[in-house]
Amino acid sequence: MNRGIARLFQCSAGVLCLAARLVGQAPISLQASTPKPRTIVGESIRIDLHQILRADLDLETVELNRDQTSIIINSLDKPGETRVLSGKDYIALHHRQPLSQVGRSFHGKAGAAWTSQLNLLDYTYPLPAGRYRVAVSYRWADNAAAVVRANDVEIEVAPARLLSARFRWFGGAVARDQLAVLWAAEESGKPHWFYQVSDGLDPAAVVSAVDLGWTLSPAQVSPRIAHLNQIAGEQYERVAVWTDHSRLCWQRLADTGSIGAVSCADAGLSPRREVRLADPPLQLRQGGLVALLTGEDSTGNAQAALLRIGLDGRTQRRLIPIGGVAAGEVVAWADSEEPVQGVLYHWVRGPGGSKVLRTDLVSGKQETLLETRDEVTAITVDQWLGRAEACALARRSDSFQVLCWSPAPSKPVELPFPLAWKLMEAAPLASGQGHALLGQTHEGWAVVTRRTRWTGASSSPPHLIASPGGLFLINHDANRGFRVLREFPGE
């Protein structure tokens, strides 16, 4: 009896035919390579898996499945430090249901060849700065010996210092379903910009983070991601928006990186005065863009410039008079986009205190919502699908008074906040139960809500993330990327 026939009779039923045809050879081959062997800490690390079937085979997606793929990560800087990851880590990291489908199953034909991409961020928090050797193995049958392993690849993760970060929530199953971040970090003396998407329940669990290839200076521009008044999954692209002096600039993004070139349009406001971008700009359902900028016209009158940019790049512009030069501004966008409707909320400084005003962007009607001797220092808006609540924060001697409109006014709320603390951020809570305030103290940092008062230290400036899973205080470490510094469940 020849070797192939002998193997035929020795195999179990599950692998009988494959063993007879392959005479001991695995039915699938794997080769690994990485398109970017050197990345910045926090950036996606992707491994290309080149696959060839030598026989017909029922298999699962090698790059992501429940338990058939293993990823072995060995530290080259710390010999002996090894991690082995699988689909179970993916389920735990990204809060998937334990019995949910991971990847997909399919039947492959002999001779088929393809390349898929494995994203390490599917399985783990961003790797710390360092050098690593990564191997991928795949078990193609319920047999301990039925394993094929790809060649090892070596990667390097470079440390980087955070320069800028802007966050945006997108809706899906809930109003805050997906957290998007535009961030810039300095590495080798140069700024690098990234578009990142994180898990809605854990801001440090990154789904993807791609280099945008921008050369923008974070000291001169502050790009932000446009808001979507729809379910995020219905749009493949996102839009980054910023001001360049008196111009509005934008570029389309995806989880693969930048799309097309940067475009700019004149806002029609005086370039000799500060021009501010009201938050948020709006990405239209049909793919266009609407943004509101505030400043002054050539005669020195305070104006808001409403710009609508079509898919063809054509710009429609309309100036709307506003009652005073805005010191802070937000827009509550209506659900209707034909025509675009919305309300500008902004505050102005005066010799006797502060004033909060509301201006309808269609009629131009303006009303004063608040006049106070207290100093208004921030204004926020929480919105989705045409429902919005705008809030102003007025500084008192030992507290902040939070006043909100949606559009009717709600009862003011007092949050204790010592005068010695400096307000750094204010975030509407996902529960709809007020705001979280982030303050800088002499000793470090403070977080204040209706129910929470926390003080502590951080090696770098932290940020507030109010998610459906609770309130998170995150920071960015040059060697580890974004990390949760503190979690406040139930907020």
* pLDDT (tens digit per residue) in 376-431: 999 999 999 989 999 999 999 999 999 999 999 999 999 999 999 999 999 999 97
> Under a CB-based contact definition with an 8 Å cutoff, are residues 294 and 304 in contact?
yes
What tokens were used for 369? 């919502």
21: region left, alpha or beta (phi > 0 left; psi from -120 to 50 alpha): alpha
* 95-134 pLDDT tens trace: 998 888 899 999 999 999 999 999 999 999 999 999 999 9
* 435-475 pLDDT tens trace: 999 999 999 999 999 999 999 999 899 999 999 989 999 99
- What is the distance between the alpha carbons of residues 41 and 129, in angstroms, rounded to a whole number? 6
- What is the distance between the alpha carbons of residues 346 and 304, in angstroms, rounded to a whole number? 11
* 294-324 pLDDT tens trace: 999 999 999 999 999 998 889 999 999 998 9
Helix, strand counts (H, E) of the chain: 3, 40
Domains with residue ranges and CATH for the chain: 27-158 (2.60.40.10)
**Burial category of 315 from C-beta neighbours within 10 Å (exposed 0-12, middle 13-18, buried 19 and up):** middle
**In the predicted structure, residue 477 carries a pLDDT above the cut 80:** yes
β-strand 282-283 against 227-228: which pairing, if any? parallel
- What is the distance between the alpha carbons of residues 458 and 372, in angstroms, rounded to a whole number? 35
**In the predicted structure, residue 1 carries a pLDDT above the cut 70:** no
